[in-house]
Every structure is written in structure tokens, then in C-alpha cells.
Structure 1
């Protein structure tokens, strides 16, 4: 072999080595890019699920209940803390209560409460004799959301 052939062969071998090294780095970069795309797709799915949940929650009411003393009367205050209105709200006492504090005429007039908008409240009068030692009442609230679903919550309300 002549010097020229040896140098040409060495240059060719060096070119092949550089090509294989370049191909190896390119494959590794491609694999990393595919992994990043998978992570991005998962993140996008989670974001979409969160947006859908936020949209569903915007069509739901969140009701709370508390008891307040107003001069001589005590009241159960029901408040809509959600972003949507609640319809046909039913207030009920659970079985673990010592007695029924609701004033019958007031309760019958306000149950079911037709529509309670976001941030709005209404009250039910309560009459608690001095002989009653119960410190909390177990109540339930049931209502219909703007999206047509029904929700029900159970609460313990302190006097």
C-alpha cells in the first residue's frame, strides 16, 4: 500500500468513527426528546382534567350551615358559598339529636327553599328550651345544582 492509500484509509476510518459517534449522540438526544414529550403530554392531560373539574365546580353550589343567636331568637343560617345557585334546598335534622329545635311554621314555609344564589343566605328559626343540654345539632342539607346533579352534606352545628 502506498502512503496515499494508507492516509485515505485512515481518513475514511476516522469519518466512519465520527459518523457512528454522531449517530449515537443523535439517538440519545432523540430518546430524551421523546421522554420530554411524554412528560409534556401527561402534564397537558392533568391540566385539561383540572380545567374540566373547575368548569364542573362552577356549576355546583357549596352550602354551609351555622347557628347564631340574634337577640332572643336562635337561627340556623344556611349560606351558599359556591359559584352557582342551589335549588330546592332541604334542611333536615338527623336522628342523633335530643330534640327538634325548628319552629314548625317557619320550617314548613321555607322548606324546600326554592333558589339560593352565590353568596346568599337564608335562616330557619330555632327554639331551644333551657333544659336542653345538647351543644351541637346534627343536620343535613340536600339541594339540586345548576348542572342538574344533587348534593347532600352532613354537618354538626354548634349552638
Structure 2
């Protein structure tokens, strides 16, 4: 599936470059971008007719990206709140998250998304790839299972939809 996406991207850039040179017009950057997007959409739609998993993977990537942006914004405000309220007591914890993911790519993606979210950092992945250890800055009411389920129902569930 990744090979199909890379092939479409290379074809899209090549066709767009060829069209710009063939037509010999002085295109602006916005027109070249529109041409690039148009060719990519044509290739993508033709692929959709023959290979439906590609469409679902792209939908999963968009879902994961939007979820990550939402979590990024929320966690930034949470960290700002902790910084601006000095009397607030932190409840940090190191959690051991059992993984449902199997591929190295998906486990690495999960670990990086956790690290990129403010207030959390990935510490280690077990040798057998069954557990991920991460630190979080605040566990509400020391409910460790709830903190683990936020990661499992959020990032991990969306990564599994991509089928990487």
C-alpha cells in the first residue's frame, strides 16, 4: 500500500512537471500546486476504483492526524495551566501500556506521537514489543487505567485502522 502511494506521488510530480514544461507557460506557484493536486486526485480516484484499502488507509491517516492535532492543542493548554497555577500538585506517573500493535513501524509511530504530545514522553519499549513504558506529567485522581485507556482508545486504535 505504501508502494502504491509512493508510486502515485512520483507519477503525480512527474506528470505535473512534464505538463508545465510541455505547455511552456509561465505558471505561478499556486497554479503548479493546483495542477499537482489535480493529477494526484485523478491517480487517487483511479486507485480507489481498483484498490479500496488505499482509500481506507488514507482516511485513517487523516483521522490520526486530526486526532493528534486535537490532543496536541489540549495538552498544550493543560501544561500551560500547570505552569501558571503553582499551587496545583502534579501527579506524575510512569505507566506500562500493553500493546496491541505488532509491526515495528506502528509501534514507533505510537511512541513518537506520545513523545510529541506535551506532558508525556516515551521511555522504553520492551524487548518483545508487548509493552510501552511512558511518563505522563499528571494522572487525574491517580486513575492509572484511565490514563492507559486514553492512549489505547486514542492513538493506538487510530494507528490500527491504518493497517501499516
More helix by share: 2
Q: TM-score range by the shorter chain?
A: under 0.3
More strand by share: 1
Structure 2 length normalisation: TM-score?
A: 0.22
- Say which one has the larger Rg: 1
